[in-house]
Amino acid sequence: MFRELFPPMGLLADERVAELEKLIGVDIHMPSLYEQALTHRSYLQVVNTPDHRSNERLEFLGDAILGMVTAEYLFYNNREVLEGELTKMRSWIVNKKSLAICARALKLEDFLFLSYSAAQSLQRGNDSMLADALESIIAAIYLDRGFDEVRRFIVERLLPIMVGESLVHDTNYKSLLLETVQGRGQAAPRYVVVREEGPDHEKHFTVDVVVEDRVIGTGHGRNKKDAEQAAAETGLAYLASKTRTKRP
């Protein structure tokens, strides 16, 4: 079954496998898993052979594993924190931005198999491909070496970076905006995608945030989540300006 799902593609020579092992700190038993984990869908158009498969299915599995391990980590290390706050903490820690930062720290971009246009997009700062590849690597480690090994990889290699990144840089503007409007007795904000532009590997989204049928902010981003956060940030600024205007 494994050979059917992960046929060898001949993309990673032995020396490259050894380099990848050193970067991720994992002994690789089945290189074909990692070949698929590092293959962006754009590369399939380059090679055009039935044996080559993209990392999208592995990304799905890796996302679930990362969420579970992070939840377990937060559960045991924040014993007095309630469920709702744990959920917020996990969303602050696990996001595309922090995943991309981890991927760059591991120099994962040197191993990706991409089309020329996708590689150009990566150079221009589209980090979603890096984040997706890291989730796929997580799935590959799980399938290759088991749960204990993937947990060790996440807890020792990724979470220290992700937790630090969330503490230094991340502000959950959506959560802050929700608390602000509910504190005013208003209904929860709605986020509406008003524009979606670009090819699949270089999308750009424009999102409006609406409170009681009024657009209070607009945001832009390379994915919906980033655009919603940007919209929430401008919405908070708008509400703050209105509050200042009302003061005597």
The span from the CA of 227 to the CA of 229, in Å, is: 5
Catalytic residue of the set 35, 132, 135, 233: 135
The span from the CA of 212 to the CA of 120, in Å, is: 41
Catalytic residue of the set 59, 63, 127, 226: 63
Which CB contacts under 8 angstroms, 24+ apart, belong to 44-50? 45/115, 46/115, 46/116
170 an active-site residue?
Answer: no
Surface-to-core class of residue 4, CB atoms within 10 Å of its CB (0-12 exposed, 13-18 middle, 19+ buried):
exposed
Spatial contact of 180 and 64, defined as CB atoms under 8 Å apart = no
63 an active-site residue?
Answer: yes
Token pair belonging to 190: 């709605």
Could you list the active site residues?
63, 135
